[in-house]
Amino acid sequence: MSSLIRLYGTPRTNRRDNFFSNVLDGLFDESQGWRQQETFNDSVNVSETSTSHEISVAAPGLDKGDFSVELKSDTLTVSFDVSEENKNSFVKQSFQKSWAIPKGTNPSDIVAEYKSGILNVSIAKQKAEEPATTTIKVK
């Protein structure tokens, strides 16, 4: 049975990072046009069905064109990097996670769809190949 392995992604914060983040939040007040970068650390769900591996990324408010889904050397990477600017604020959202997928996965077996704020990526499982049986004639 094959499985997906998370390789790397947006780093999780620790308590020290949260402390400094809270201190810095007071310096950059949203009313002055500053907003903290939004991250999507806990917005990924990976599951397995009998026929596929499923990856769901919750990312409301984006367009399907904001996403990049790439397969390179048996590594699937899902990412987006968007910025929004108006006269009073600047917001940057970014996300990237990668998974090792079964060797030899055909790119045509991967389907990505963004609907209702969730990007769903489905990776069809490869059928296990039966070893070929060859009958050897006895002389």
The model's confidence at residue 41, banded by pLDDT at 50, 70 and 90, is low
Confidence of residue 67 (pLDDT cuts 50, 70, 90): very high
Give this prediction's pTM: 0.64
Phi, psi of 109 (to 5 degrees): -90, 5
Closest CA to 69 of 117, 105, 122, 3: 122
Pairing type for strands 118-124 and 52-58 reads antiparallel
3-state secondary structure (DSSP) of residue 20? helix
Handedness of CA 6, 7, 10, 16 (dihedral sign): positive
At residue 70 the predicted structure's pLDDT band, cuts being 50, 70 and 90, is: very high
Q: Which CATH number fits domain 5-124: 3.60.110.10, 1.10.10.10, 3.30.360.10, 2.60.40.790?
A: 2.60.40.790
